[in-house]
A and B are shown apart, each in its own frame.
Chain A
Amino acid sequence: MSEVLTGKSFVHGDWACAEGAIAAGCRFYAAYPITPATEIAERLAQRLPRVGGKFIQFEDEIGAIASVIGASYSGQKAMTATSGPGISLMLENIGLAVMTEAPCVIVNVMRGGPSTGQPTGGAQGDVMQCRWGTHGDTEIIALAPQSVQEMFDLTIHAFNLSERYRTPVFLMADANIGHLYETLQIPEAKGIEVVNRKRPTEKPGEYQPFSAGPDMVPPMACFGDGYRFYATGLTHNEKGYPDMSVEAQDRLVRRLCDKIRRNADEIERVEEHYTDDCDVLVVAYGITARSALSAVKRAREEGIRAGLLRLVTLWPFPDGRIEALAKGIRGAVVAEMNYGQLVREVERAAMRRVEFLPKLGENPHMPEEILAAIRRASK
């Protein structure tokens, strides 16, 4: 079986995510079964041994993410996939991946919470958890696919960003997308952009594993390559050794956060429809963005100048673009499948209150609901 299954197929989002991982060069996957992400594990259990990769089903999600970091440090592109309860268990080691700058991809096929919640019911209730869940000051990258095609495309993009910035990247899919069947077009392998981490050019004795240049991303040596370096979750200096000084904490945390913040323009990705002249700005992501686009088009037919800003990256949050679009609008609408999460970010960036449409339970917003909110916001 070839490594990239070029061609057209009718598949679900979890399947597309698994194929995207393989196309991106992922050769290590570890996970614990959980609805609605299990299908990613099932697909990769079948596929990885055929392409020279490794698959392991762990005793829990904590072990899964720890092994992913170990694989990443051994030079592999590594991934795990789970849902909210699994992310809750992984958060400590996600912090370790941030702290030790281990490139990896974490897929959250979101279901209704809190706690066990609604295992088969889609939701967007973990978008703040992925941003703030692990302790301490961190910056994170998170992407939100809205189609089966994007489960493939954005999984590759997530790997590329993780390799580029040496950081864990979240793919935040709602269960509605994970379980949706649609047409997927997989391009030729040579047409797929694949980014690989920067390797050190120094000799082993001269290499400092956490010394970075102007882009703030240190080149990464891997275990077994002869560099004999040390990494720790403790605050460390450029050599990787523990350093409990005030200066070391300040220097390290600033760099870890700033390598994302200062490169935010390069990382942030949004999709805009009819925003050039809009009076009402709709902000949505994931499955909700599809209903929102339909609502915006219908509002335009009614003569309301509505526009859609669809968030492809949830984090870093596109503050600047929202601030710019919010100038001169009459109103804004945020629709998301939770009880109020990214709406707070939109209000903060837009510096105004917005018409908020929460949604609890697995059914996505109907376009009519969003259209009604657009009408209210246009007055």
Chain B
Amino acid sequence: MTPPGHPHSKSLRVERLPHIWCQGCGLGIVLHAYADALEETGVDLDKVATISGIGCAGRASGYVNTDAFHTTHGRALPFATGVGMSRPDIKPVVISGDGDLFSIGGNHLIHAARRNIDVLVICSNNFNYGMTGAQFGPTTPSETKTPTSPYGNIENPFNLAALVAAAGATMVSRWTVMHPIQLKNSIKRGLTKKGFSFIEVITPCTTGYGRLNRLSPLDMMRMLREKGKIRKVPPTEAVCDPAREIVLGDFVDVEKPTYNEVFETLTHRAGVAS
């Protein structure tokens, strides 16, 4: 079913639409912002590889009209590392979720940031494992009731922006799906920037988190608008607490040599060795 004259017929595989996401879910807005950014930057779509892990957000790679790969759970970043090292002319973009990137894939994420792999990571954070039915994860606020924390979550959530900044990311931003223009602009910057760029997007899981916590899709969108505060602060002060405040903005934007650029010096070093 190809929608006639679809506005993203260049950057999306429109024959794959409609997507699988629930009504009220924000992942379509994230995909929309990525599609806009791909088209507005004018990057060569033949030289972008969209790579994802497992979960709702991970299905995004199947809708994008670039080379794309849907890897195993948590492994999008090492896969992308292999792509970027083999073909430095390709920009790997990892689109995945908070559970995929920070729980099962957390170790790969901090090491990819530490190495400064040239990759753009768009991480949708919906505060739970949506695909499996809204269980708590590494971003779920404390005390939240979920199917696997029926008496309230006894764990503490990660602050994703602060974590990746500490690991060495050269660009760190956070937006919500109620800030699609800012989100698109950050994605555009990340697409053309060299190095490990990380964009967190707060997005509602209406069917899982919302239904279980008696929040309608509209309630959740309103919450993002009300709690989202744009501030110029260091990432360590970028609070992400849906009950209190979700600090938004561009927290880090620095230049560092990428892993590929440093690797090139090895060729020289090896050449002068015995």
> What 0/1 readout, one digit per residue, does chain B (14-44) give for beta carbons within 8 Å of chain A?
0010000000000000000000000000000
Which residues of chain A (251-286) have a CB below 8 Å from chain B? none
| Shortest distance from the beta carbon of A132 to any chain B beta carbon, whole Å | 18
Across-interface contacts of A52 in B (CB, < 8 A): 267
Residue of A nearest to B266 (CB): A49
Known: A63-B107, A232-B70. 11 other contacts (CB 8 A): A54-B263, A59-B111, A62-B75, A62-B78, A66-B78, A66-B79, A73-B83, A74-B86, A74-B90, A224-B89, A233-B71
Across-interface contacts of B77 in A (CB, < 8 A): 63
Do B78 and A228 touch across chains, with their CB atoms under 8 A apart? no
Contact for B71 among A28, A66, A75, CB less than 8 A: A66
> What 0/1 readout, one digit per residue, does chain B (154-175) give for beta carbons within 8 Å of chain A?
0000000000000000000000
Using CB atoms and an 8 Å cutoff, list the residues of chain B in contact with chain A.
Answer: 13, 16, 45-47, 49, 51, 61-62, 65-72, 75, 77-83, 85-87, 89-90, 107-108, 111, 263, 266-267, 269-271
| Shortest distance from the beta carbon of A46 to any chain B beta carbon, whole Å | 7
Q: Could you show 27 A-B contacts with beta carbons less than 8 Å apart? A: A49-B267, A49-B270, A50-B270, A54-B85, A58-B111, A59-B111, A63-B77, A64-B78, A66-B82, A67-B79, A67-B81, A69-B79, A70-B51, A70-B81, A70-B86, A73-B69, A78-B86, A96-B75, A224-B90, A228-B65, A228-B66, A228-B67, A229-B68, A230-B70, A232-B70, A234-B70, A242-B70
Do A67 and B69 touch across chains, with their CB atoms under 8 A apart? no
Q: A70-B78, A74-B82, A228-B66 are in contact. Are A92 and B47 (CB under 8 A)?
A: no
| Shortest distance from the beta carbon of B98 to any chain A beta carbon, whole Å | 19
| Shortest distance from the beta carbon of A220 to any chain B beta carbon, whole Å | 12
Give A163 to B177 CA distance when docked, in angstroms: 44
Do A70 and B69 touch across chains, with their CB atoms under 8 A apart? yes
Give A56 to B81 CA distance when docked, in angstroms: 9
Residue of A nearest to B65 (CB): A228
Contact for B49 among A49, A63, A223, CB less than 8 A: A223
Do A93 and B72 touch across chains, with their CB atoms under 8 A apart? yes
Across-interface contacts of A54 in B (CB, < 8 A): 85-86, 263
Give A73 to B92 CA distance when docked, in angstroms: 13
Across-interface contacts of B271 in A (CB, < 8 A): 50
Contact for A74 among B61, B83, B266, B267, CB less than 8 A: B83
Give A58 to B77 CA distance when docked, in angstroms: 12
Do A67 and B270 touch across chains, with their CB atoms under 8 A apart? no
| Shortest distance from the beta carbon of A68 to any chain B beta carbon, whole Å | 6
Across-interface contacts of A234 in B (CB, < 8 A): 70
Question: How many A-B contacts at CB < 8 Å in the complex?
Answer: 135
> What 0/1 readout, one digit per residue, does chain A (224-243) give for beta carbons within 8 Å of chain B?
11111111111000000110
Q: A28-B86, A54-B86, A74-B86 are in contact. Are A66 and B72 (CB under 8 A)?
A: yes
Give A214 to B16 CA distance when docked, in angstroms: 29
Do A63 and B108 touch across chains, with their CB atoms under 8 A apart? yes
Give A92 to B78 CA distance when docked, in angstroms: 14
Give A75 to B86 CA distance when docked, in angstroms: 8
> What 0/1 readout, one digit per residue, does chain A (18-39) give for beta carbons within 8 Å of chain B?
0000000001101000000000
Contact for A224 among B46, B69, B263, CB less than 8 A: B46
Do A69 and B68 touch across chains, with their CB atoms under 8 A apart? no
Do A224 and B47 touch across chains, with their CB atoms under 8 A apart? yes
Do B86 and A71 touch across chains, with their CB atoms under 8 A apart? yes
Give A93 to B104 CA distance when docked, in angstroms: 14
Residue from the set A27, A73, A75 with the largest chain B CB neighbour count within 10 Å: A73
A60 close to B (CB within 8 Å): yes
Contact for A227 among B62, B67, B72, CB less than 8 A: B67
Give A70 to B77 CA distance when docked, in angstroms: 10
Across-interface contacts of A70 in B (CB, < 8 A): 51, 69, 78-83, 86
